[in-house]
């Protein structure tokens, strides 16, 4: 199937999941997870109607950016991010979804201030408390959110999570429900800065309908859109 056909099928499932949850379909955005895709495939996805691309690796982002592959879409960064790579992203990507430490937050703020911009960010939560995963633990989230909500150069937009791989279909409901509660708590707090807490990024190819049922506003989809990826190293 072409990207366009896959996209139509995904969009339909998203819309139905939203309606079942009593939500309007426009409240959920589809983000194409473009890791390992070529610039050509990214252009094809944008031509088919994708308006948000999510990149995992700074190196791939730089290459596609130099190619002009993202024309017609905005780009989010969704991968593990090192402080020394922040300079390649700030002011170019519309959202950094994977902020999980005060140090990273500080590096983004510093770069944004130098450029005279405000960088939109999400805080990534390690909701499954997995050793192998990035993300702030739920109990450390309020302190990091307060910091993010007070920092010059930063605009706090919400939360992102990559829950554990579900053993059975529907196995991640509990994590999605916990994320939604953290998101609501975050929205109700007062912050020093003007914030706009409107984004809850959760749900991937195997569980986006479940995530939407639990309040996701942004689903990140790779395999269901582009097909199966070749096996790869976990990080780069």
Ligand X SMILES: *Cc1c(COP(=O)(O)O)cnc(C)c1O
Q: What is the binding site for ligand X (CB under 6 A)? A: 33, 35, 56, 78, 162, 204-206, 220-224
H/E stretch holding 48 reads helix 39-48
Smallest separation (angstroms) from ligand X to the CB of 36: 9
| Burial (CB count within 10 angstroms: exposed 0-12, middle 13-18, buried 19+), residue 71 | exposed
Structure tokens at 74: 């905005």
Cβ closest to ligand X, residue 43 vs residue 220: 220
Distances (CA, A) of 156 to 105, 107, 149, 168, 183: 11, 15, 6, 33, 12
Structure tokens at 172: 């991640």
Cβ closest to ligand X, residue 127 vs residue 221: 221
C-alpha to C-alpha distance for 226 and 218, rounded to whole angstroms: 18
Smallest separation (angstroms) from ligand X to the CB of 116: 29
Smallest separation (angstroms) from ligand X to the CB of 193: 26
Cβ closest to ligand X, residue 56 vs residue 126: 56
In DSSP terms, which residues pair with 221 in a beta bridge?
A: 32
- 84: alpha, beta or left? (left if phi > 0; alpha if psi -120 to 50): alpha
Least Cα distance to 56 among 39, 35, 36, 42 occurs for 35
Smallest separation (angstroms) from ligand X to the CB of 113: 27
In the block, tokens 């199966």 appear at: 228
Smallest separation (angstroms) from ligand X to the CB of 10: 10
Residue nearest to ligand X (CB): 222
Smallest separation (angstroms) from ligand X to the CB of 226: 8
Cβ closest to ligand X, residue 212 vs residue 221: 221
Q: Residue 19 carries which DSSP code? A: H
Cβ closest to ligand X, residue 56 vs residue 147: 56
**Any alpha helices (H) in 68-217, and if so which ranges?**
102-115, 141-148, 173-188, 208-213
Smallest separation (angstroms) from ligand X to the CB of 232: 10
Three-class SS of residue 187? helix
């Amino acid at each position: 199937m072409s990207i366009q056909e896959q996209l139509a099928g995904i969009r339909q499932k998203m819309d139905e999941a939203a309606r079942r949850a009593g939500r309007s379909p426009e409240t959920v955005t589809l983000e194409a997870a473009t890791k390992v895709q070529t610039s050509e495939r990214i252009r094809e996805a944008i031509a088919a109607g994708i308006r948000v691309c999510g990149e995992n690796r700074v190196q791939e982002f730089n290459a596609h950016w130099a190619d002009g592959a993202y024309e017609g879409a905005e780009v989010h960064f969704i991968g593990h991010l090192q402080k020394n790579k922040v300079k390649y992203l700030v002011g170019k990507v519309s959202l950094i979804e994977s902020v999980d430490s005060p140090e990273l937050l500080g590096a983004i703020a510093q770069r944004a201030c130098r450029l005279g911009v405000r960088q939109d960010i999400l805080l990534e939560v390690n909701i499954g408390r997995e050793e192998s995963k990035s993300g702030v633990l739920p109990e450390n989230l309020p302190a990091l959110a307060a910091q993010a909500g007070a920092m010059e150069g930063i605009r706090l937009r919400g939360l992102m999570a990559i829950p554990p791989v579900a053993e059975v279909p529907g196995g991640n409901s509990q994590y999605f429900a916990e994320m939604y509660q953290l998101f609501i708590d975050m929205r109700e707090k007062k912050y020093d800065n003007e914030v706009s807490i409107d984004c809850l990024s959760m749900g991937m190819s195997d569980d986006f309908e479940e995530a939407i049922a639990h309040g996701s506003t942004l689903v990140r989809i790779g395999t269901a859109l582009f097909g199966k990826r070749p096996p790869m190293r976990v990080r780069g």
